Every structure is written in structure tokens, then in C-alpha cells.
A and B are shown apart, each in its own frame.
Chain A
């Protein structure tokens, strides 16, 4: 149950930077999710927190005290590895008990809490099996139980739910969140699944190429992405990003001029607009539907117009438009996000609409 800080932490592998000057601070009991593409340094960051890797530069602080030199075994960090890292020579029960072995917990007591935690992650019937006799999802839950049993100061979850089916994943999300609240343990969850990140976490940390692109509440990341990367990585189906030129007259995208509000220094920009904010209601820019995909609750269309190819969503489960049909697209200024194409930053106080 610790306050955790990273101060300008860098991890080099030879000349390559796996983690590049990251600063981050987590309040006690906070639940943060790390989102980012493969190879962006998520696991490396967790390993540095766990004490497995030594940062090349920078400090790691637990409750304000520098722990760079504290050994992994003294940090009391629970970690679920991406590969589960179960001990193949031990049964499930022995795996879960392993962390207690070094804490000198009396045997009966240890077994009791192991069974409780196994109950919690629904693996009670598997306690006598070896990890090789478990499915991927079952192994993940064993790993989770093993990380939780030691009542860690910091819980690190490296894609702990990636191998579960949709139903189990949903219930495990809630379980993890519930356990996390109950124990009040500071938690970092690494995931590729943004829905997971958005539903579970108090805060999302979006990483790219070893750096933090943006951090904030799920809502802030979704509605006010600071960079093009954050905008495009978060949201599914992904945001529309349309390159254009900001001029005194408005925003020029190809041949089309869109009305703008706010500051108008001429520069090249990208217009971001989420698919659910584009509407086909009979006025605006003429476009031709080129594809319609039924997603279940809603339908995702791609339409070709003078702006380029644009995705938009309609809340009907059966497609309303067919490919080749003509529609008119528009969107609100409030939902438009403009990025400076050169600096790759969001432009404050400008908006466009059609």
C-alpha cells in the first residue's frame, strides 16, 4: 500500500532506449492502466518497479524513499508476468503458497489463505494440478492468486487477462478491481485492451516508444488527447485523422474549406474526429458509402468524400445505408480535435465543424 514514484527513469539496452525519461507518480491505492503498442517499454517499466531491472538513470521511490538499490525480494511487489511464470515443478497450491514460504507464515494459516484466494479466482478445483495441466486462462488466474497472497505493497499486472474468454474476462475485471479496492493496494495494469484500461483504471498512462504520451483519467484521454498518437491509439473504432491546412479563411482539407473558430495562425494540422461524432443527417459534406460493417449494437460505415475516407457510426444493428449510397456528413465543433501536424500536439482553442 505504497505511494509510488518514478523520477526521470531511463532504461537502456545497449544503445536502444526501452524506457526513455519517464516520470510518474501513483497515489496510495490508485489503480493505473498502462496502454501502449507492443515493444513500447511497458513490461520494462514494471520490471524496474519490481526490482528485476535496475534503471539506467533516474529514481524509483516508494513512499518517498528511494528504492533503486532495494532487492526485488524485499520490495513486496506482487507481479503477474505476461508469461505467467508459474513454477512448473510445483502444484497450483504450492505455487500459490510459494511467496509465503519466505515470510515464515505458519503452515496452516498459509494454506487457509491460499484456499481463500483460490476461491476468489475460481481455481479451487485445480489446486493439485501442475501448471502444465492448466489452460492459459487457468494459469493466469493461478498467477494472479500467487501475486495477491502476499498482500503486496504494489501489484503489477502484465496483461493478466489476455487469455480469458469474454465472460470470464468481464468477471475477472470486476474481481480484480474489487480485490484491489479491498486491499487498497496500489496497482498498475498493463494491457492492450483499451476497454479494459478504461473500465478498470482510475488513470490511464498512454505510452509510446519508451515515453509517456499522456496520462489522465480515461475520460480525459478520450475527449482531450494531447497527441496524435494518444488520439489514434485510444478509441475503437479509431478516430478519423484528416490532414489539412489551417488558414485565415478556415480549415482546408483537399478542396474543401471547413469553418473554424478561434485562433487562426496558418499551419498544417490534423483534424481528429471520432466516428461516433460524425453524423449523416442530410446536410454537410457529400460522401459515398464504401463499406458497412455490422458491429452488433451499431454499424460502422466508411464513407469517401472530399475530406478523405471517414469512418462513422450509426446506432442501428442492421445497416441503414448500402455501399454506393450517397450521404451527407457533418460534425460539431465541440467534438473536433485539432493537432499541430509539426509539433504533434493538440491545438487549444481552435475547432472546426462541417
Chain B
């Protein structure tokens, strides 16, 4: 027995901590780098088309795209963007990120200048300044003045997106608060029916919606898509906002009321500020929904009564130019820009959505 113990003891001696630590560090590094590598590989096919569009919009000349330019430009841009992404992940400090952004931009500009500098031009963006694009291309007779200046479509899109967003946010916020705070008869039924509505894809309702809009007399007006888009998104947005309000402690509101606030003041000063995350999130989602809408803006007009960016892009791509890739790409970039900027500046709030509420 005692012999056995003597043999067993050395195995139980204190382990080689430094060796274990080295191994753990190596494993950790390996894991981290394989993850980064994997994400990079996956993101290349997703990123490439975006770069193509951007590069094409600055390089294509009437008649076609020089694919050599395309590849050379992407060979510069993709590594720069991925490099910055990696830097963003690895450096949590703001200055470091700024520095890497500057470096990446400088490298990209220099690389582009060297490789494709002579091929870049702004010609495809002339649609931004010339009101009669089609007539310039096809001659005055062709389009009959029907095709608008892009800014017309831009501001229409803006109106649709902004107005429906404002309506959605206001209604969803108030309804979400009410559903979260007040017990009324039929509340659970109401919540259930909100969920049921999500089962139907709105496109299934295109024809009834068309009929309703027709009877109401809003056909061929911008109010039609604004109204429809608002209604379609509301159930889901109400749910989101209810979730945010549910997360606001009840006693804070009561405290405000004992401090002399009316219910409305308590809502305004104390409850609402804690749901800002939700409001920003649904604002962005709601805006982008309106900005990108195609189906209902086309379904609810019978002629060319109004133009928005999506119909403008479609027209540019399909009807007029056919093969002018440069113009299509330029319009796409212009169309993409607002959504992209919104996402970039507000992504912090959008990620909160998945967490399903606010932190205290």
C-alpha cells in the first residue's frame, strides 16, 4: 500500500504552470486567428459586389466595364477594408482605430492612384446635375419628359421614408407604452392578434391593399405608400417598443409621480429616455424600410405619377440605358449611401435590439 502511494505521488506533484499558460495562450491565439481568417474568407464574396459597384461607378465608360480595372481596384480596396476591420477588432482604443483608419485610407488612395488612377472619372455621376438625363442620351423625343431628375425621386423617397418613419415611431412608442403599462380588458387578445398579423407577408395583401387605397382615393399619391408602409411595420415595432418599456422599472415612474410629475411628465422625463435605444432602432429600421421600398410604391401607382429612388433605379437599369453599367452603378451607389450612413452611425443602437431591451 505504502509502495503504491510512493509511486502515485510524483504524478500529483504541482503541474508545470508556465508550460500550461503558454499552451493556453497559444491555443487562444490560434482560435482567434482562425476565427478572423474564417470571417475574412466568408466576407470576401459578400464585400466584392459592393466594391465592384463602387469601382464601376467611377470607372466605367459608355459601352462597358474594363474588368482589368475592376480587379486591380478590388485588389487594393479589399485588403484595405479587411485590414481596417481586423484593426478595429484588435484595437479597442479609439486613437488606435483612428490611426488604422487613416492608414487604411491612405494606402487605398495611393494604391488606387497608382493602379487605376487614370481610369477613374466622375462622368457617371452626371445624373446628379443634369435634369434631363434621358433626353441627353436618347434625344428629346424618346422619354417625353416623363423621366424625372434624380433629386425629384430622392426627395420623394425621403418624404416616404421620413414620414412613415415618424408615424411608425410615434404610434409604436405610444402603443408600446400603453400595452406595457396599462392592464385593460382584451390586452392579451390584442397582443396575440398583433403577432398573428406577422404571419401574413404583406405582399399577400397587395391586391386588397390596392383596392382599399383606390376606394379611399389615394391611388397615385405619395400618401398611399406612406400609409401602407406604416401599417405594415407597426405590429412588429409595437412589440419592440413594448419590450423596451417592459424593461423600464415600474417604481421609477411611480417615484417621478410622487415627485410631482403627471403621468405624462413621468413618461416624458423618466421613462422615454430609457427607451431611446428602441426608438433609434425602430427609426433606422423604419426609415430604411421606406427608403428601400419597391413593391408598394410600384403597386400603388398606375402611371408615372410619382417617382422614388427604387423606381428610378429600376428604370435606369432596365428601361432606358440597358447596358450603361456605369450609370446604373453610380445611381446604385447614390441610392445606397443614406442607408449605409445610417447603419454606420447608429449600429450601436441596432445591436441593442437583439439584446431585447435596455440595461439599467
Task: Give chain A's interface residues, CB within 8 Å of chain B.
Answer: 47, 50-52, 71-73, 75-79, 81, 83, 85-89, 98-99, 101-103, 132, 146, 150
> B249 within 8 Å of A by Cβ?
yes
Asked if B252 is an interface residue, CB under 8 A from chain A, the answer is yes
**Pairs A–B under 8 Å by Cβ, sample size 30:** A50-B258, A51-B258, A52-B258, A73-B257, A73-B260, A73-B261, A76-B260, A77-B258, A79-B255, A79-B258, A81-B254, A83-B249, A83-B251, A85-B251, A85-B252, A85-B254, A85-B255, A86-B252, A88-B252, A88-B274, A89-B270, A89-B273, A89-B274, A98-B256, A98-B259, A99-B259, A102-B259, A102-B261, A103-B260, A132-B360
B347 an interface residue at 8 Å Cβ cutoff? Answer: no
Q: Which of B249, B254, B270 contacts A72 (CB 8 A)?
A: B254
State whether A102 touches B260 (Cβ < 8 A).
yes
Interchain CA distance A77-B255 in the complex, whole Å: 10
> Contacts A88-B360, A89-B273, A132-B360: A150 and B259 contacting too (C-beta < 8 A)?
yes
What 4 new A-B contacts, CB under 8 Å, besides A51-B257, A99-B260? A47-B254, A51-B258, A87-B252, A150-B260
Q: Is B262 an interface residue (CB 8 A)?
A: yes
The residues of A that contact B255 with a CB separation of less than 8 Å are: 79, 81, 85, 87
Shortest CB-to-CB span from B217 to chain A, Å, is 44
CB proximity to A under 8 Å, residues B238-273: 249, 251-252, 254-262, 265, 269-270, 273
B262 touches A73 (CB 8 A): yes
Closest chain B residue to A47 by CB distance? Answer: B254
By a CB distance below 8 angstroms, the chain A residues around B274 are 88-89
Q: Would you give the shortest CB distance from A95 to chain B, in whole angstroms?
A: 10
Per-residue CB contact flags for chain B residues 31-74 toward chain A (1 = under 8 Å, else 0) read 00000000000000000000000000000000000000000000
A158 and chain B: residue at smallest CB distance = B251
Complex CA distance for A102 and B261, rounded to whole angstroms: 7
Complex: how many Å from CA A47 to CA B257?
12
Question: Which residue of the partner chain A has the closest CB to B270?
Answer: A87
Do A72 and B251 touch (CB < 8 A)?
no
The interface residues of chain A lying within 8 Å CB-to-CB of B265 are 102
A-B contact count (CB 8 A): 61
Instruction: State A89–B258 Cα separation when bound (angstroms).
Output: 18
The B interface is mostly helix, strand or loop, or mixed, namely: helix
CB of B346 to closest CB in A, whole Å: 19
Please provide the 3 A-B residue pairs with the shortest distance between their CB atoms, ordered closest to farther.
Answer: A102-B260, A89-B273, A85-B255
With both beta carbons as reference points, the residue of chain B lying nearest to A83 in the complex is identified as B251
Residues on B with C-beta less than 8 A from A73 are 257-262
Q: Are B252 and A72 in contact (CB under 8 A)?
A: no
Residue of A85, A98, A132 near B249 (CB, 8 A) is A85
Q: Collect the chain A residues with CB atoms within 8 Å of residue B360's CB.
A: 88, 132
A132 surroundings in chain B (CB, below 8 A): 360
Q: Which of B301-360 contact A (CB under 8 A)?
A: 360
Measured in the bound complex, the distance between the Cα atoms of B275 and A89 in whole Å is 10
Q: Please measure, in the bound complex, the distance between the C-alpha atom of A101 and the C-alpha atom of B259, giving whole angstroms.
A: 9
Q: Which residues of A contact B270 (CB under 8 A)?
A: 87, 89
Q: Which residues of A contact B262 (CB under 8 A)?
A: 73
For A77, the closest partner residue in chain B by CB is: B258
A228 to B261, CA, bound (A): 44
| Distance of A81 Cα from B249 Cα, bound (Å) | 12
User: Distance (Å) between the CB of B203 and the closest chain A CB?
Assistant: 40
A81–B251 touching, CB < 8 Å: yes
Closest A residue to B251 by beta carbon equals A85
Q: Nearest residue in B to A50 (C-beta to C-beta)?
A: B258
Q: Cβ of B256: which chain A residues have Cβ within 8 Å of it? A: 87, 98
Give the distance in Å from the alpha carbon of A102 to the alpha carbon of B256 in the complex.
10
Nearest CB on B from A48, distance (A)? 12
Instruction: Write the nearest CB–CB distance from B148 to chain A, whole angstroms.
Output: 45
CB closest residue in chain A, given B273:
A89
Q: Which residue of A lies closest to B262 (CB)?
A: A73
The docked-state distance in angstroms from the alpha carbon of A79 to that of B269 is 19
- In the complex the two chains form, what is the Cα distance from A72 to B254 in whole Å? 8
- Could you tell me the distance in whole angstroms from the C-beta of A176 to the nearest C-beta in chain B? 18
Q: What chain B residues lie within 8 Å of A102 (beta carbons)? A: 259-261, 265
B360: nearest residue on chain A (CB-CB)?
A88
Q: Give bound CA distance, A344 to B256, whole Å.
A: 43
Residue among A50, A98, A132, A150 with most chain B CB within 10 A: A98
CB distance from A44 to the nearest CB of B (A): 13
Shortest Cβ gap from B311 to chain A (Å): 42
